[in-house]
Amino acid sequence: MTRKWIALGSPRTLALIASLCLNVLMGSYIVAQWARASVPPLVAATTPPRLIRFIADRLPSADAGTLWRVYGAKEAELRATQADYEHALRQAAGLLAQTHLDAAALRTAVMEAREKRIKVGDIVMETFLEAFPQLSPQGRQDLVGRLRDR
């Protein structure tokens, strides 16, 4: 039986090592973020403040201020609605974790969570629809250009 050894200096070996290192780094980052989150990672990644920050970071400072001002007026309502959504998700997860799964109750809980998520989305949409007409033409053009390039 012959063994083929991969040369340590070959491009394939270096690429493999780099890939493994990046995978370990990415996995560590994901685990650290998950461990720090008090809510499920997918919920935390889609919270309204993160979405507002994502858009505001792509606007000139005056326009970003306008967006944050409009968001501030809706923040209490958004936080309450987001909390309702997260609570509904936890209830659905609790049903899913039960030994004897009640499929009908799970379906009801998931549909309730969906309705609450839609309410959050509606408030966020209203925030943008109220803020966008107040933005400068250049700010809107910059935003469209940057989002289109993604």
**For residue 126, pLDDT beyond 80:** yes
pTM over 0.75: no
Helix (H) or strand (E) holding 78: helix 61-97
67, 129 in Cβ contact below 8 A?
no
What is the percent of the chain with per-residue pLDDT over 90, rounded to a whole number? 40
Residue 135's contacts (CB-CB under 8 Å, 6 or more residues apart) are 59, 63, 66, 67, 143
- The string of pLDDT tens digits covering residues 8-40 is 556 776 676 766 666 666 666 666 555 555 444
**For residue 149, pLDDT beyond 80:** no
**For residue 6, pLDDT beyond 80:** no
Mean pLDDT, all residues of the chain:
80
More confident residue, 1 or 76: 76
**For residue 85, pLDDT beyond 70:** yes
Residue 71's contacts (CB-CB under 8 Å, 6 or more residues apart) are 48, 49, 52, 78, 127, 131
Lowest pLDDT segment from 2-6, 93-97, 104-108, 134-138: 2-6
**For residue 82, pLDDT beyond 80:** yes
120, 48 in Cβ contact below 8 A?
yes
Which of 37, 41, 43 has the alpha carbon at shortest distance from 83? 43
Number of H helices, E strands in the chain: 6, 0
Domain map of the chain by residue range?
7-36, 39-148
Q: What is the mean pLDDT of residues 33-51?
A: 58
